[in-house]
Amino acid sequence: MTAIAERSPGPLMTTPEVTMATALNQALADALTEDETVLVFGEDVGPLGGVFRVTDGLAARFGDTRVFDTPLAESGIVGTAIGMAMNGLRPVVEMQFDAFAYPAFEQITSHLAKLRNRTRGRVALPVVIRIPYGGGIGGVEHHCDSSEAYYAHTPGLRVVTPATPGDAYALLRQAIECPDPVIFLEPKRRYWSKQATVLEHAGTTLDRAIVRRPGSDVTLIAYGGTLGTALEAADAAEEEGRSLEVIDLRSLSPFDDETVTASVRRTGRAIVVHEASRFCGYGAEVAARLSEQCFHYLEAPVLRVAGFDIPYPPPHLEEYHLPSVDRILDAVDRLQWQETRPAVKAGG
Amino acid sequence: MSPLIGAHVTSATRVVPRGRKPQELLPTGAPLTLVDADGRTVPSAGLAMPGDEALLALHRKMVLARRFDTQATALTRQGRLAVYPSARGQEAGEVGAVLALRPQDWLFPTYRDTMAVVCRGLDPVEVLSLLRGDWHCGYDPYEYRVAPQCTPLATNTLHAVGVAHAAKLKGEDTVALVMLGDGATSEGDTHAALNFAAVWQAPVVFFVQNNGYAISVPLSKQTAAPSLAHKGVGYGVPAMLVDGNDAAAVYAAVRGAVASGAEGGGPTLIEALTYRIEAHTNADDATRYRDQAEVDGWLARDPLARLRKHLTARGLLDEPAVAALEAEAEAEAAALRQRVNADIAHDPADLFRHVYAEQTPDLRWQQQELSAELAAAADDPEAAR
């Protein structure tokens, strides 16, 4: 942790602002420094530093045996990472964009996710697959998919997504230390958002959600790229006299029932916000869990504000597709505020 | 970990020596053979005839492997195995490739390579766990350095490259041999694996057993390449075409490829020409896609009979030795039958173990749900129906 200690602010200094990309870069550098079994590889992650510059400077600092460019084949990247993990290394690989990870899908679902189970725990695969995901950056087709549900549906994988630079650092460090394979989804429209934070990972666990903003009327459940939108919506709702609690899930698999149900049992209303298409999307799982675990506390159906059930649109149309503050506020308005409350609340 | 990762190589991405001419990478036109179908020695450039001890070991293991294979097929008929993909007729490849490996090397087998896995020394009952339907992989892959038998075709080629590249980075003298069939060479992962292995100069042996069919699809519908070994040149990988029914040739070719990988020569592609005598599995009907005459032609080139003729002619093997060996194989088969006929008690709680390093709350809950249901059924069998 020397690198971090050196960068910690002194008593007279203000906490420096860092971007998510910088925080991820620092997490990789610190992991490479502390654990010599950690390797970073993928397409263009070497001298270029990745198309989003997340690996900037790492090849020069750690050498091209530990940080290196591979041939252009995602299945090859994940497949060889599996072999390297079998032989004692901890690969952290990059898929250049969400939709470009699909060639690796078989390696991820048939091998990475299953090998521990197939071998009754004898073969562990501590592999991290970093995937920039989601839209909002004006990307052309195949560059803006939100593919989290594919991975979250697969037993054996952990699926994590940070929404802030501080979490990006902490969660990536935790993911690299984790004995399970981790799909690490990086919301690319948040790569350059800044936060004044000290980068540290002690005390963070990989599977807990966090309440980002307390509220009492509605629970907004967001993650990754939509957290910022949810927080803006909460600000706007406050002006209208409604108090919105905002939860950042962080871990999509496993799901932190404790944090989410505690909130929804207090507020009685919930909306899930994500960029991915609604049909069979991650929000469906959240809504189902809330109806199973909080049914008698709910004042209204759990709503989803999600991407439409369409292929990701071209840049000039994406603003209509992405969940916006207005769409979230409209959903809040639809939460049956005028209906008669049940006379007796079960459990209360 | 004592050796510094990466300290053993100057670059993880060192490219193939550019000086290599295409001719140096291409296979020979005719398959390399050391012992012909009549058991006669064939003088062959580039392959050294294995010593007497190695030849006798090949013969012994082939006898045991064949008996194991026929026993496993018989166990499917008795319902003791859910399915068994036989490799009968491929004993030279299955045994020859494995005996050419050193203890520190890794073997990446497919579902058809049960003979090879058993030949490596694993307990056959543990190995058959997959095909009995007890668990997906019944053995410890680290014990003999044998990866789980791989079902999705060609996917394990990349795992072999990863293990080999990691070994190189760690300074270990380890070569990975991956087994694949003619059909698997059409998969994208084979392409990626050959390419990655070549670019990284990873010590990998790609051992392709071309047995003529991918389930029912013949090689003519699989590729237009002059041979599967010819695919190596495009990646910068040296390739060999060997007679896959000649155990001596397979053994010598793999030994050479392992030595080359261990000495920093990178990957090698070996195509072994052979034939699948049985159907794809016991559930397949091979008469729908091939003639018996074709099978008979290959039966006449039987790999075991060929080596036996050769060893007998050279005075290295006699009838009493063969009889003793066959008695040994019979005893092994009887022991296997007996052990496989014993029922295994399954614990449903196993379903929820080893999905993650630590059980998740969801899995804990699901395990409790199932065990409560089973307990209720045990208390009241009538109501459970």
What does chain B come to in residues? Answer: 385
Taking the model in full, what pTM does it have?
0.94
Q: Are A205 and A250 in contact (CB under 8 A)?
A: no
- What mean pLDDT do residues B73-93 have? 95
CB neighbours of A215 closer than 8 A, spacing ≥ 6? A234, A243, A244, A245, A246, A267
Tokens 């995937």, located at residue: A131
Band of pLDDT at residue A7, cut at 50, 70 and 90? very low
pLDDT of residue B45: 61
Q: Which of B255, B276, B308, B310 is catalytic?
A: B276
Helix (H, G, I), strand (E, B) or coil at A134: coil
Q: Which domains does chain A have, with CATH numbers?
A: 8-196 (3.40.50.970), 210-333 (3.40.50.920)
Contact A87 B167 (CB under 8 A): yes
Average pLDDT over residues A112-116: 98
- DSSP conformation letters of A201-222: -TT--TT--EEEE--SSEEEEE
Q: Where do we find the tokens 């695919």?
A: B231
Q: What is the pLDDT at residue B325?
A: 98
For A154-211, how does the pLDDT look when each residue is reduced to its tens digit (9 = 90+)?
A: 999 999 999 999 999 999 999 999 999 999 999 999 999 999 999 998 877 899 999 9
Q: Are B155 and A63 inside 8 Å of each other by CB? A: no
Q: Are B223 and B185 in contact, with CB atoms under 8 Å apart?
A: yes
Is residue A157 within 8 angstroms of chain B, CB to CB?
A: no
Cα separation, A165 vs B236, whole angstroms = 44
* Look-up of token digits 């032989």: A87
CB of B273 less than 8 A from some CB of A = no
**Rounded distance, CA B374 to CA A287, Å?**
29
Please give, rounded to a whole number of angstroms, the shortest distance from the CA of B135 to a CA of chain A.
7
CA distance B351 to B63: 38
A123 neighbourhood in chain B, CB within 8 Å: 141-142, 148
Give just the sign of the alpha carbon dihedral A18, A39, B189, B278.
negative
Q: Is the pLDDT of residue A8 over 50?
A: no
Out of A63, A71, A106, name the one closest to residue B196 (CB): A71
Overall average pLDDT of the B97-103 stretch: 98
Would the CB atoms of B170 and A158 count as touching at under 8 Å?
no
State what percent of residues in chain B have pLDDT above 70. 94
C-alpha distances (whole Å) from A115 to each of A77, A334, B109 are 17, 45, 15
B199 touches chain A (CB under 8 A): yes
Residue B171 forms contact with A (CB below 8 Å): no
Tell me which chain B residues have a C-beta less than 8 angstroms from the C-beta of A71. Answer: 192, 195-196, 199
B204 touches A at CB < 8 Å: no
Q: Mind telling me the catalytic residues of A? A: 143
d(CA B218, CA A3) in angstroms, rounded, equals 60
Q: What pLDDT does B343 receive? A: 87
Q: What is the pLDDT of residue B28?
A: 86
Residue B112: pLDDT band with limits 50, 70, 90:
very high
Residue (of B17, B46, B12, B18) closest to B30 by Cα position = B46
A289 touches chain B (CB under 8 A): no
Q: Does A111 touch chain B (CB under 8 A)?
A: yes
Task: Give the mutation candidate from B163, B201, B346, B363 for the A interface (greatest A CB count, under 10 A).
Answer: B163
First to last CA, chain A: 48
Condensed to tens digits (0 to 9), the pLDDT of residues B152-162 reads 999 999 999 99
Q: How confident is the model at residue A3 (pLDDT cuts 50, 70, 90)?
A: very low
For residue B240, what are the β-bridge partners?
Answer: B270
User: Which residues neighbour B270 within 8 Å (Cβ) at sequence distance 6 or greater?
Assistant: B205, B206, B207, B208, B229, B239, B240, B242, B250, B253, B254, B257
pLDDT of residue A202: 85
More confident residue, A324 or B24: A324
Residue A106: closest CA among chain B residues belongs to which residue?
A: B155
pLDDT at position B20 is 77
Q: Kindly write down the DSSP assignment for every residue of A52-108, as one continuous string.
A: TSTTTTHHHHH-TTTEEE--S-HHHHHHHHHHHHHTT-EEEEE-SSGGGGGGGHHII
Token output for B373: 């249901």
Strands, E assignment, A176-334? 182-187, 194-196, 210-213, 218-222, 244-248, 251-253, 270-277, 303-307
Residue A75 CA to residue A73 CA, distance in Å, equals 6
Fold for the domain defined by B22-341: Rossmann fold (3.40.50)
Q: Does A73 touch chain B (CB under 8 A)?
A: yes
The reply to whether residue A80 touches residue B147, judged by beta carbons under 8 angstroms, is no
Most confident of A266-280, B28-42, B273-287, B336-350: A266-280
CA B86 – CA B66 distance, rounded (Å) = 10
Q: String of b and e for A40-71 (b: at least 16 CB within 10 Å)? A: bbbbbbbeebbbbbbbbebbeebbbbbbbbbe
Closest B-chain CA to A157: B356
Closest CA to B332 of B92, B135, B53, B69: B69
Secondary structure, 3-state, B156-212: HHHHHHHHHHHHHHHCCCCCEEEEEECHHHHCHHHHHHHHHHHHHCCCEEEEEEECC
Q: What's the mean per-residue pLDDT of chain B? A: 93
| A316 lies within 8 A of chain B by CB | no
- The residue whose two tokens read 């990975």 is B176
The two structure tokens encoding residue B223 = 């590729």
Distance between first and last Cα of chain B: 56
Residues of chain B contacting residue A110, judged by C-beta atoms under 8 Å apart = 152, 155
Domain boundaries, chain B: 22-341, 348-384
In this prediction the ipTM stands at 0.95
Name the pLDDT band for A237 (thresholds 50, 70, 90). very high
Across the interface, of B137, B196, B199, the residue whose CB is closest to A118 is B137
Taking an 8 Å cut-off on Cβ atoms, the answer to whether B152 and A180 are in contact is no
Res. A10: pLDDT tops 60 = no
Inter-residue contact B125 to B336 (CB < 8 Å): yes
Residue B13 main-chain phi, psi, to 5 deg: -115, 25
pLDDT digits over B17-29, tens only?
555 788 899 998 8
Report which of B105, B107, B104, B134 is spatially closest to residue B119, judged by C-alpha positions: B107
Active site residue B289: yes
Q: Which of A3-7, A213-217, B32-36, B165-169 has the lowest mean pLDDT?
A: A3-7
pLDDT above 70 (res B9) = no
pLDDT at A4: 37
Task: Please answer yes or no on whether A71 and B1 come within 8 Å at the CB atom.
Answer: no
Reported as a single tens digit per residue, the pLDDT across A247-287 is 999 999 999 999 999 999 999 999 999 999 999 999 999 99
Which DSSP state fits A110?
I
Angle (nearest 5°) at CA B167 between B161 and B169: 105
What's the pLDDT at B19? 59
Instruction: Establish if B384 touches chain A: CB-CB under 8 angstroms.
Output: no
Task: Give the torsion sign (CA, A15, A21, A22, A24).
Answer: positive
A156 Cβ neighbours under 8 A, 6+ residues apart: A112, A113, A114, A116, A117, A180, A181, B355, B356
Contact A266, A217 (CB under 8 A): no
B162-B167-B171 Cα angle (round to 5): 150
C-alpha A111/C-alpha A114 separation (Å) is 5
User: Which residues from chain B sit within 8 angstroms of residue A117, using beta carbons?
Assistant: 136, 354-355
Distance (Å, rounded) from C-alpha B368 to C-alpha A319?
46
Active-site annotation holder among B60, B144, B230, B289: B289
Residue A340 is predicted with a pLDDT of 52
A14 at B interface, C-beta within 8 A:
no
Name the average pLDDT for chain A. Answer: 94
Shortest CB distance from B13 goes to which of A68, A122, A123?
A68
Backbone angles phi, psi at A184, to 5 degrees: -110, 100
Going by C-alpha positions, the residue among A23, A306, A65, A42 that lies closest to residue A170 is A23
**Burial of residue B234, with CB atoms counted within 10 A of its CB: 0-12 exposed, 13-18 middle, 19 or more buried:** middle
